[in-house]
Structure 1
């Protein structure tokens, strides 16, 4: 169970994953030893699963983004998930409930590349029954 200091630490790291233990301690008004111990525990407990850089997709050449929904065959999730992990343009995978089964975030260099991913890679997977593509005109990560 996370206490208030743990929650604040997670929030601070979500804002800036490069914060040092010293800076965390100062912001949370706790000792450096306490900050390092809490951070280690949060990592060991799987609360914090990694530290990453947030990248602007367009600035790294990925100018087209879309959410792709998939309807899939029953009991195919594990195999399908493994296959989706082999497609580099698929940036996020979620098993969901509702009108479709899987929601993907796909980022590609342009519309032709997106078309290739959807029509030739995703729809060719044996588990995929149907797909729908929703183009993203603008997005924001918080």
Structure 2
């Protein structure tokens, strides 16, 4: 399977080495990306057949996409509710100027943190979290987030329904 064969090439822990400069992706690379986004467990053979290249060519292309940092890893799409994380929220944060790196490190350690983004606009950081229930969300916001000295304010947007968009194809 692609995920098993490629797993050795991607470092799952620690900072990644600097990626080489971006190269343009051709139509075959784009097709491979779409296929792996839809099914990260696809075998090299099935990828090669679907994009009409040899297995060696498909393997080399996937390796290059991993080495170039285009593919950051392989993973599972999780139904958070079925996994016991039935409450999701986007939390906006205003933070002390020039404290992004410190805040980011603290946010990475939060249980249930799924996505962290430094953004421009009315707030500085957008954080997506998944928690077991509203009580756990309340604890996360009021006890953990607001205890970070560089966090000036938070606003919580409760997610009622969500859907991961599938790549076209």
**Same fold? TM cut 0.5:** yes
* Ranges of 4+ aligned residues in structure 1 off by more than 2 Å: none
Match for 2:129 among 82, 101, 106?
106
Is 1:132 matched with 2:158? no
Per the normalisation by structure 2, the TM-score is: 0.83
Structure 2: runs of 5 or more not aligned: 1-23
Q: What's 2:47 paired with?
A: 24
Question: What corresponds to 1:84 in structure 2?
Answer: 107
1:50 paired residue among 53, 73, 77? 73
Please, what is the CA RMSD of the aligned residues?
Answer: 0.6
Q: How many residues align?
A: 142
Partner of 1:9: 32
Is the 1:89–1:117 contact (alpha carbons within 8 Å) kept by the matching residues of 2?
no
2:59 is equivalent to residue 36 of structure 1: yes
Distance 1:23 1:89 in 2: 34
Give 1:90 shift: 1.3
TM, length-normalised to structure 1:
0.98
Partner of 1:69: 92
Separation (CA, whole Å) in 1 of partners of 2:111 and 2:143? 14
Deviation per residue, 1:72-122 (Å, 9 max, x gap) = 000100011111111122111000000000000011100000000011100
